[in-house]
């Protein structure tokens, strides 16, 4: 891993043990009271980290979408990381409600969601993002707005899908304009994008329509 990766962690994350893992990966970690998110990577990307249990609880008590709003209002790119399996927790909420919340985060709030197996994987993901920002020159501050700009968080979300790399992600977003239009597109519409054959179009179409237990 590259040295001198700069990460600001919210002071409430100290007890999680994740900052210690990041330091072991040679990240420069400082603590602050962040107004949005739990981690700020290279001063450009806000990461909201949640365990599966906290994700459900934040949906129940109303914190979830307020956190989405704060990230969007920051003017920075954002990312949700959910640690653990949502299927395995004792919850008092329907699967449909969880599905709706996840889709709202990704489509309505345009914030990608990454599912992590635990703190170790989360630490690796954060370091990879930081190094990607440095090596790709993608450390410039990204603002949300209208028009045909390709926002970093949207590209990050799309290229994280199997068989969809950054170039195809750019073509999909350039063709459809928004994540929402990609999600609602049928197979024929998806095939009209260069580089998307029948099998890939069917995969993308079916991915956004699988039941939660298949995610």
Instruction: Specify whether 36 is located in the same domain as 88.
Output: yes
Where is the domain boundary, 84, 111, 143? 143
How far CA 131 is from CA of 3, 25, 32, 143, 172, in Å, comes to: 9, 12, 22, 20, 25
Q: Final residue of a domain: which of 109, 143, 177?
A: 143
Percent of the residues in the chain that have a pLDDT greater than 90, as a whole number = 47
Q: Are both 134 and 164 inside the same structural domain? A: no
Beta-bridge partner residues of 10: 32
Domain count, the chain: 2
Residues 208, 122, single domain; the answer is: no
Task: Indicate if 166 and 68 belong to the same structural domain.
Answer: no
Q: Which of 143, 177, 200 is the last residue of a domain?
A: 143
Regarding whether 61 and 162 lie in a shared domain, the answer is: no
**Confidence (pLDDT) at 91:** 62
Which pLDDT value is given to residue 150?
43
How many Å apart are CA 133 and CA 141, to the nearest integer?
11
pLDDT at 209 over 90: no
What is the reported pLDDT for 149?
42
- pLDDT per residue as tens digits for the range 81-104: 999 988 777 667 788 888 888 988
CATH number at residue 137: 3.40.50.10130
| Domain that includes residue 127, residue range | 1-143
């Amino acid at each position: 891993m590259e040295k001198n990766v700069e990460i600001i962690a919210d002071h409430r994350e100290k007890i999680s043990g994740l900052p210690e893992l990041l330091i072991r990966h040679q990240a420069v970690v400082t603590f602050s009271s962040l107004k949005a998110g739990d981690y700020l990577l290279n001063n450009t990307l806000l990461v909201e980290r949640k365990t599966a249990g906290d994700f459900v609880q934040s949906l129940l008590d109303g914190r979830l979408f307020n956190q989405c709003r704060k990230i969007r209002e920051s003017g920075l790119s954002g990312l949700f990381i959910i640690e653990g399996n949502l299927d395995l927790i004792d919850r008092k909420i329907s699967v449909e409600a969880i599905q709706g919340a996840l889709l709202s985060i990704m489509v309505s709030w345009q914030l990608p969601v990454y599912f992590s197996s635990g703190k170790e994987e989360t630490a690796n993901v954060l370091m990879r993002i930081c190094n990607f920002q440095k090596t790709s020159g993608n450390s410039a501050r990204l603002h949300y707005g209208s028009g045909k700009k390709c926002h970093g968080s949207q590209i990050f979300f799309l290229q994280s899908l199997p068989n969809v790399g950054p170039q195809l992600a750019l073509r999909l977003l350039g063709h459809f304009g928004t994540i929402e239009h990609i999600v609602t597109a049928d197979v024929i519409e998806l095939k009209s994008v260069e580089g998307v054959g029948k099998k890939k179009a069917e995969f993308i179409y079916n991915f956004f329509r699988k039941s939660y237990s298949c995610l």
